[in-house]
Amino acid sequence: MSSFQSMNLKPEILQGIADLYYKDPTPIQKEAIPLALKGKDLIGQAQTGTGKTAAFVIPILQKLEENNNDIQALIMTPTRELAIQITEDIKELGKHMNVQVLSLHGGKDITSQISKLKGKIQIAVGTPGRILDHLRRETLHFGRIKTLVLDEADKMLEMGFVEEVEEIFQQTASRKQVFMYSATLPDGIRKLAHRYMNQPQVVQIEKKQMTASNTKESYYVVNQSEKTDVLLTILEDIRPYLVVIFANTKTRVNELVRRLQEKGYEAEALHGDFSQNKREQIMDRFRQAKFTYLVATDIAARGLDVEGVSHVINYDFPSDLESYIHRVGRTGRAGQEGEAISLVSPRQKQIITRFLKSISGGAVEKFLGRPEGKKSEKKKKTEPGKKTETAPESKSTGKAKAKPVKVKPGYKKKERLEKEKQAKKARRQKVEGIYRKKNN
């Protein structure tokens, strides 16, 4: 079995790996690191949370000339949060080496970055826009660069950075090693590889499920009006070490933080209205476990790598699979166990079912919803006033799936109002019933 020790890495790197409690290489690390150390250009396809950052950082550190003050490696990322996170990872893995790394991204004073670039910088990590800004100002030079990395290349192209990426490629040394890491391999990446890479080796880590196997995933079907009660019940029961709660809007984030603080929870918000400095301060406090409950928009879904995030909760369910995968990927990292819990409305059951099919079954351990009576493997006719019927047992989850059906034309408004009235009176009992079902 391949190990970090068998890769003939520098003792300082092995010590940095040990300090981070990495035991065995992940599949992407096992495949990619040996090829990278042989000088091969590399395309790595792997999902978030699989250890791909270390898969390219370790070879960079292994080849680094510590007495050389030139920039020897450039790592491009689509977001400033990811740039900051990779910079921190390099510092951690290389803390026993004399390595100087600088993060280049918007939201920071460019004059401060220019001043630091006049000194000894060996690895630069940044977003395409800010890197190009420095290149055009002639404050950044890549004439002696040895390694160029595109991380989350598919996202970079989706965000419209194609021209910037190509211009940066053209301004770097012609002889260099190139790594591209991506969750998918669209045509745009293949074209870039054809133009700028030298017979790249492709490492594809195919997984039957796109979320980590050591992350337990579950979800609850609840009405919007019940969500906060359900959330509070969940938090009271799980008592997480660190938890990220995702909401879809800044307003919702602020409202949730207010409600949690009223209940005595140590909660803080993270969204796009904060300055970059403020975001970094919040994240530093979260990493140090100064507070437990981080309520965030999708700004935290990428690039947030915090040791000890025991739970992720989707208070608002995302509309696309990629966002779901990245959110869930904030827990269960580096081989640790994690749990992801989603709150979905009755209408969103179709979305979660579609996501389950894409993840290829088995990822969500429990199909949870409000008790609707005894379920059997045979379909039952929908009675007037009921909006769901029980389908045959799912092959992928082993659980009965509820699918929406149209309400019969004869469904009377007063019957609906009466049911809503009864539901409102029994709301707390329903919430407790949902949660009891989880624990059974």
What element of type H or E holds 75? strand 73-76
Place of tokens 């910079």: 87
Do 51 and 170 sit in the same domain of this protein?
Answer: yes
Q: Does residue 101 sit in the same domain as residue 229?
A: no
pLDDT at 432: 53
- 200/219 same-domain check: no
Q: How many structural domains compose the chain?
A: 2
- Whether residue 266 is found in the same domain as residue 161: no
Asked if residues 143 and 72 have their Cβ atoms less than 8 Å apart, the reply is: no
Residues 151 and 219 in one domain: no
- 362 within a domain of the structure (yes/no): yes
**Judgement on whether residues 143 and 234 belong to the same structural domain of the protein:** no
268 assigned to some structural domain: yes
- Asked if 256 and 149 sit in the same domain, the reply is no
Q: Is the same domain home to 237 and 378?
A: yes
Which structural domain range is residue 29 located in? 5-204
The pLDDT value given to residue 387 = 31
The reply to whether 9 falls in a domain is: yes
Residue that terminates a domain, selected from 163, 185, 204: 204
pLDDT band at 420 (very low <50, low <70, confident <90, very high): low
Q: Looking at the domain assignment, is residue 209 inside a domain?
A: no
Confidence at residue 206, expressed as pLDDT on a 0 to 100 scale: 66
Same-domain check for residues 193 and 274: no
Verify that 194 and 340 share a domain, yes or no.
Answer: no
Angle, helix 321-328 to helix 349-359, in steps of 10 degrees: 70
Say if residue 399's pLDDT is above 70.
Answer: no
* pLDDT one-digit tens code per residue, 271-314: 878 877 888 889 889 988 999 999 998 876 555 677 789 999 99
Residue 82 domain flag: yes
pLDDT, residue 361, reads: 44
Q: From 204, 236, 257, give the residue that closes a domain.
A: 204
Query: Which pLDDT tens digit goes with each residue over 89-127?
Result: 899 899 899 899 999 988 778 888 999 898 889 999 999
Backbone angles phi, psi at 339, to 5 degrees: -140, 135
Residues 280 and 427 in one domain: yes
Query: DSSP per residue over 217-282, as a string?
Result: EEEEE--GGGHHHHHHHHHHHH--SEEEEE-SSHHHHHHHHHHHHHTT--EEEE-TTS-HHHHHHH
**Per-residue pLDDT at 207:** 54
Pairwise CA distance, residues 249 & 221, whole Å:
20
Please tell me the distance from the alpha carbon of residue 47 to that of residue 329, in angstroms, as a whole number: 9
For residue 103, what is the domain's CATH number? 3.40.50.300
Q: Is residue 193 part of a domain?
A: yes
Domain end, chosen from 204, 230, 245, is at 204
| Residue 427 placed within a domain | yes
Q: In this structure, are 238 and 117 located in the same domain?
A: no
Tens-digit pLDDT profile for residues 52-99: 899 999 999 999 999 998 899 999 998 887 888 899 889 989 989 989
Using DSSP, state whether 27 is helix, strand or coil.
helix
Structural domain includes residue 55: yes
pTM (predicted TM-score): 0.57
Q: In what order do the strands lie in the sheet with 215-221?
A: 267-270, 293-296, 242-246, 309-314, 338-344, 215-221, 364-368
